[in-house]
Amino acid sequence: MSDDTTTDEVVLVERDGAVAVVTMHRPAARNALNGALRTALPEVLASLDADPGVAAIVLTGSDPAFCAGLDLKELGRGDHRISGGTGVARRPWPDLATPMIGAVNGPAITGGFELALNCDFLIASERASFADTHARVGVMPGWGLTVLLPQAIGVRRAREMSLTGNFMGAEEALRFGLVNRVVAHDELLDVTVGLGHDIAGNDARGVAQMLATYAETSATTVADAWTVEARNAAAWAAGGIDPDGIEARRLAIRDRGRSQIGD
């Protein structure tokens, strides 16, 4: 692959022919979603989506994590840009006509879990894990988790994940249908990029239409649910977020993940 683009060093883009690999790159912070990353990621994805030479996008994170979710330190300082303050249904990036595969290389937690769910499908490393800790931290989802997670694993399992905040390992995620495959960590990008090339080998207009059709058929049943989630997230954010103890809760979540899944 060739290193094609860097954006503020928090998002890296490499090209392998018609497949673009987008890497969230804040490894020391486990790719937590700070303002720079939240701004850069949708811009990069929109640019790639507009490029006729890109047939598929792979989204991943710099090891050791896929994405640890919100940067809680930044949130505690009053940056609530991720918290659904408008009450309008929204996604973490603009609607894309280009298929996007999530290559989940490590923990995908809360907002990071939502990023994974917004991909068209997921390939997981053996090191991947998933958790919805919104309720544990004291924030609400605003990127479609309560819509997309039940679609992936069923509403009762989704409720269990959201209400307990417990972690789900890669093999369990495969059994429940959250991910399509689990592969050896060192093979994750090769396998995922290979699937991207499988997509690229198809008729481009047919792929775009198929993707649009899936989006439309899903939206006919869940459009109201997106609005409900956005409204609730806005109401929650309007009540203010207590910064006291945020860092302690973040560390407790990391320790909980290590005890349940390992690191």
Cis-peptide into 107, omega within 30 deg: no
- Split at pLDDT 50, 70, 90, the class of 242 is low
Q: Where are the domains of the chain?
A: 2-187+201-260
The Cα 129–Cα 169 span in angstroms is 4
pLDDT over 70 at 3, yes or no: no
- Report the distance separating Cα 18 and Cα 8, nearest Å: 24
pLDDT per residue over 12-45, tens digit each? 999 999 999 999 999 999 999 999 999 999 999 9
pTM of the model: 0.86
Query: What percent of the chain has pLDDT above 70?
Result: 87
Q: Is 112 left (phi over 0), alpha (psi -120 to 50) or beta?
A: alpha
Give the residue-averaged pLDDT of 207-225: 84
Looking at residue 110, its amino acid is: T
pLDDT digits (tens, 9 = 90+) for 93-103: 999 999 999 99
Torsion (CA) 36, 38, 41, 43 in degrees, nearest 10: -90
Q: What is the mean pLDDT of residues 49-70?
A: 97
Closest CA to 165 of 86, 263, 59, 254: 254
- Between 255 and 194, the more confident residue is 194
Question: CA-to-CA distance for 166 and 159, rounded, in angstroms?
Answer: 11
Report pLDDT for 72: 74
List the structure tokens of 232: 């609730």
Q: Could you tell me which CATH number the domain at 2-187+201-260 has?
A: 3.90.226.10
- Look at residue 245 in the predicted model and tell me its pLDDT: 65
Give tens-digit pLDDT for 132-180: 999 998 889 999 999 999 999 999 999 999 999 999 999 999 999 999 9
**186 confidence band (pLDDT: 50, 70, 90):** very high
Please report the pLDDT score of residue 100 as a whole number. 98
